[in-house]
């Protein structure tokens, strides 16, 4: 496997980063996860834009232009003959000393992996997935804004551990005020009486690219989509519930905290959106192979 690392394409065993890298020491850095469908990088521009915005928010100057980042994404896929899979693009604060200060990190570390990802069992895309609500609350936007896709995922990992302990693949996270926010690496949607609801960004969530894609698709096929705060009561009593994310794609939820959602299967609107999503995903994107 070829990995891009600071200007070179190297084999995995040669892709080495310093133990003094602040990405490793402090989770100080940003990243993107991007899907490749049918030899095309899905929502490439949107992911690159979000990467640069996250870097700006934490004052990392990415030592590349957006065009150069796109070239690296394409070349990493090409070198690994990746037609379908998942790209991870990471920018860390770089190598520093054992203090926190970014002043001691002159050059960001940049690497890119093109591989695969499979977050949930395949059959759950048909049957739906059981989830629980984590007691761990999502980071408050006024403290560390979840819009920053940073290398520090401890908040989400602690919620994921709760899911693992409960024997389900995913956990729903509430914000500080008990409002439904998102899952550990996915955005959440509910459907009630034919209307689709998803939490607004200001409750403290990542502005998911799959979330925006699904909102656009749903509106195009004629559904009303409302970005509105809601509580667990609304989730428990929804007709349908599904999650979206680059890794997760669109996955139905069949129970939340042991409350069966709707009929306890993938509901009809979720099924339609899932199909529409796959149609869009396979015909849209930056081509890897000419
Ligand atoms: N929320 C969180 C916390 C995430 O990490 C992600 C990305 N895996 C998402 C939502 C979904 O965002 P996207 O659709 O852009 O992948």
Closest ligand 1 atom to residue 211 Cα is: 14
- Give the chain's mean pLDDT: 97
27 lines ligand 1 (CB under 6 A): no
Using the mean position of ligand 1's atoms as its centre, give its distance from the Cα of residue 97 in Å.
31
139 lines ligand 1 (CB under 6 A): no
Instruction: Answer yes or no: is pLDDT of 282 > 90.
Output: no
Phi, psi of 56 (to 5 degrees): -60, -45
Residue tagged active-site, from 40, 43, 95, 149? 149
Distance CA 50, CA 186 (A): 16
Using the mean position of ligand 1's atoms as its centre, give its distance from the Cα of residue 209 in Å.
7
208 lines ligand 1 (CB under 6 A): yes
- Identify the pLDDT of residue 137: 98
pLDDT digits (tens, 9 = 90+) for 91-131: 999 999 999 999 999 999 999 999 998 889 999 999 999 99
- Identify the pLDDT of residue 284: 80
- The model carries a pTM of 0.97
pLDDT band at 220 (very low <50, low <70, confident <90, very high): very high
**Helix axes 209-220 and 44-57, enclosed angle (nearest 10):** 140
Among 145, 153, 187, which residue has the most ligand 1 atoms within 8 Å of its CB, making it the best to mutate? Answer: 187
Using the mean position of ligand 1's atoms as its centre, give its distance from the Cα of residue 185 in Å.
5
33 lines ligand 1 (CB under 6 A): yes
pLDDT digits (tens, 9 = 90+) for 181-213: 999 999 999 999 999 999 999 999 999 999 999
Among 86, 146, 208, which residue has the most ligand 1 atoms within 8 Å of its CB, making it the best to mutate? Answer: 208
Distance CA 177, CA 140 (A): 9
Instruction: Answer yes or no: is pLDDT of 285 > 90.
Output: no
**Catalytic annotation present for 16:** no
pLDDT digits (tens, 9 = 90+) for 38-54: 999 999 999 999 999 99
Instruction: Answer yes or no: is pLDDT of 290 > 80.
Output: no
Mean pLDDT computed over 13-35: 98
- Of 228, 198, 200, whose CA–CA distance to 214 is shortest? 198
Instruction: Answer yes or no: is pLDDT of 139 > 90.
Output: yes
Using the mean position of ligand 1's atoms as its centre, give its distance from the Cα of residue 101 in Å.
28
Distance CA 186, CA 140 (A): 17
């Amino acid at each position: 496997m070829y990995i891009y690392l600071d200007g070179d394409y190297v084999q995995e065993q040669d892709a080495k980063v310093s133990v003094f890298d602040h990405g490793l020491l402090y989770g100080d850095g940003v990243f993107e996860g991007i899907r490749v469908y049918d030899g095309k990088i899905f929502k490439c521009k949107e992911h690159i834009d979000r990467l640069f915005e996250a870097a700006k928010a934490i004052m990392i100057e990415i030592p590349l232009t957006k065009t150069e980042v796109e070239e690296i994404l394409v070349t990493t896929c090409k070198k690994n003959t990746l037609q379908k899979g998942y790209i991870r693009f990471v920018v860390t604060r770089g190598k520093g000393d054992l203090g926190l200060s970014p002043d001691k990190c002159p050059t960001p570390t940049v690497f890119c992996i093109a591989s695969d990802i499979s977050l949930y069992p395949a059959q759950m895309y048909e049957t739906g997935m059981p989830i629980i609500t984590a007691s761990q609350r999502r980071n408050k936007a006024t403290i560390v804004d979840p819009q920053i896709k940073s290398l520090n995922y401890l908040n989400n990992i602690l919620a994921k551990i709760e899911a693992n302990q409960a024997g389900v693949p995913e956990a729903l996270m509430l914000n500080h005020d008990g409002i439904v926010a998102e899952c550990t690496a996915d955005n959440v949607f509910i459907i009630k009486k034919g209307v689709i609801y998803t939490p607004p960004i200001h409750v403290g969530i990542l502005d998911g690219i799959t979330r925006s894609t699904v909102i656009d698709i749903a509106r195009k096929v004629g559904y009303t989509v409302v970005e509105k705060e809601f509580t667990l009561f609304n989730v428990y009593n929804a007709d349908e519930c599904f999650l979206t994310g680059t890794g997760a794609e669109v996955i139905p939820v069949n129970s939340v905290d042991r409350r069966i959602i709707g009929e306890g299967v993938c509901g009809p609107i979720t099924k339609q959106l899932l199909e529409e999503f796959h149609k869009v995903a396979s015909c849209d994107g930056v081509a890897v192979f000419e």
